[in-house]
């Protein structure tokens, strides 16, 4: 019995390793996301006064985040910014739809596609972070929270 347990444990350990028994390293990269300098005040501005323009004008700071490697730096940055919101009733906020056309990023997050009590706060909070993060790239002039014109994605 001990031999079976040892064999199973060894198999589980090696499942996360390469052929030489060396742990596999997931390829990663670092992105910069923009987050509110004062997250509490930012959240209060969204929920209390519900003044999204004033909230967007609040100071944001850069935060370096390690993410799985992607060839699409902009989408990886948008996804990392969305995840800064933390867990929601749908799990972490994440990019579901993504297209860049003529300097416009068309984006839909998973929190944009379903509703629950409190989803409007999550949308407002995450949209601000993703938008600020994307606008740091010179090729992005604006962010639209919808599909690109002429496209309809089955949901």
Q: Give the per-residue pLDDT at 20.
A: 57
Partners of 117 in the β-ladder: none
Residue 23 lies in a domain: no
Which whole number is the average pLDDT over 96-116? Answer: 91
How many distinct structural domains can be found in the chain?
1
CA angle (31, 39, 78) in 5-degree steps: 30
Which of 40, 70, 68, 69 is closest to 55 using CA atoms?
Answer: 40
Residue 18 lies in a domain: no
For 104-120, letters b (16+ CB in 10 Å) and e give ebbbbbbbbeeeeeeee
Residue 7 lies in a domain: no
Residue 151 lies in a domain: no
Which of 129, 108, 124 is closest to 32 using CA atoms?
Answer: 129
CA 70 → CA 5, 64, 74, 142, distances in Å?
A: 38, 16, 9, 22
Count other C-beta atoms under 10 Å from residue 103's C-beta. Answer: 10
**Contact by Cβ (8 Å): 77, 31:** yes
Residue 6 lies in a domain: no
Residue 154 lies in a domain: no
CA 11 → CA 4, 32, 83, 147, distances in Å?
A: 10, 38, 33, 45
Q: Which domain holds residue 110?
A: 28-144
Q: Give the per-residue pLDDT at 19.
A: 54
pTM for this prediction: 0.77
- Grade residue 53 by pLDDT with cuts at 50, 70 and 90: confident
Q: Give the per-residue pLDDT at 56.
A: 82
User: What digits encode the pLDDT tens for the residues 4-16?
Assistant: 444 434 444 444 5
Residue 150 lies in a domain: no
Residue 76 lies in a domain: yes
Which is it for the CA torsion 48, 119, 107, 65, positive or negative?
positive
């Amino acid at each position: 019995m001990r031999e079976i347990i040892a064999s199973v444990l060894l198999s589980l350990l090696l499942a996360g390793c390469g052929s030489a028994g060396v742990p596999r390293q997931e390829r990663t990269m670092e992105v910069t996301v923009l987050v509110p300098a004062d997250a509490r005040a930012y959240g209060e501005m969204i929920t209390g006064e519900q003044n999204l323009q004033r909230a967007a004008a609040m100071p944001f700071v850069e935060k370096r985040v390690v993410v799985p490697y992607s060839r699409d730096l902009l989408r990886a940055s948008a996804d990392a910014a969305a995840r800064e919101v933390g867990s929601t009733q749908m799990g972490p906020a994440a990019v579901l739809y993504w297209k860049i056309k003529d300097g416009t990023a068309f984006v839909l997050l998973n929190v944009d596609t379903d509703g629950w009590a409190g989803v409007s706060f999550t949308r407002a909070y995450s949209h601000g972070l993703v938008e600020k993060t994307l606008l740091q790239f010179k090729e992005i002039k604006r962010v639209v929270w919808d599909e690109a014109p002429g496209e309809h994605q089955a949901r």
